[in-house]
Amino acid sequence: MQEVGGVAESRVREMVDRFRHQLESSGTVCAESGEIAWPGGRLSIHTDFGPAEQDKDMNQDSVVAWVPNEPSRIQCAITVADGVSSSFQAEIGAQVACWAALAELVGEVADFDNMCRRSIDAAGNAIGGLADELIEDAERFRPASEFASTWKYTLREGLLLQTTLMLAWVEGDRLNVVIVGDGGAALFAGDPSNSRATLLGGASPETNRVHALGPLNRRVSAFDYCGRVEFDGAGVIALFTDGIGRGVGSNPSELFHECVSGRQGARELIEWLVKERPSEFEDNLTLALIGRD
> Which residues sit at the interface with another protein, rule CB under 8 A?
1, 3, 55-57, 85-89, 145-150, 153-154, 157, 159
Q: Is the dihedral of CA 205, 166, 211, 136 positive or negative?
A: negative
For another protein, give the closer residue by CB, 25 or 145: 145
Angle at alpha carbon of residue 165, lines to 79 and 215, rounded to 5°: 130
Q: Could you give the C-alpha distances from 103 to 1, 26, 59, 100, 119, in angstroms and in order?
A: 31, 10, 23, 5, 8
State in angstroms the smallest separation of the CB of 47 from another protein: 17
Pairing of strands 184-189, 225-230: unpaired
Q: Which is nearer to another protein, 116 or 213 (CB)?
A: 213
Q: Edge-to-edge strands of the sheet including 235-240?
A: 33-38, 41-48, 285-292, 235-240, 184-189, 196-201
The residue (of 11 and 152) whose beta carbon lies closer to another protein is 152
Q: Nearest distance from residue 145's CB to another protein, in Å?
A: 4
85/161 Cα distance (integer angstroms): 10
Q: How far is the CB of 26 from another protein (least distance, A)?
A: 37
Cα 189 to Cα 288: distance, rounded to the nearest angstrom: 16
The residue (of 123 and 159) whose beta carbon lies closer to another protein is: 159
Give the DSSP per-residue string, 16-47.
Answer: HHHHHHHHHTTEEEEESEEEEEETTEEEEEEE
Nearer to another protein, 119 or 154 (CB): 154
**Please, what is the minimum distance in Å from the beta carbon of residue 293 to another protein?**
41
Q: From the CB of 159, what's the least distance to another protein, in Å?
A: 5
Nearest distance from residue 115's CB to another protein, in Å?
33
Of 85 and 253, the one with the shorter C-beta distance to another protein is 85
User: Residue 148 CB, nearest distance to another protein (Å)?
Assistant: 7
- Report d(CA 43, CA 63) in Å as an integer: 12
Return the SS3 of 154.
Answer: helix
- Calculate Rg over the CA atoms of the chain: 18
Angle subtended at Cα 108 by Cα 242 and Cα 61, rounded to the nearest 5 degrees: 20
In terms of CB distance, is 24 or 157 closer to another protein?
157
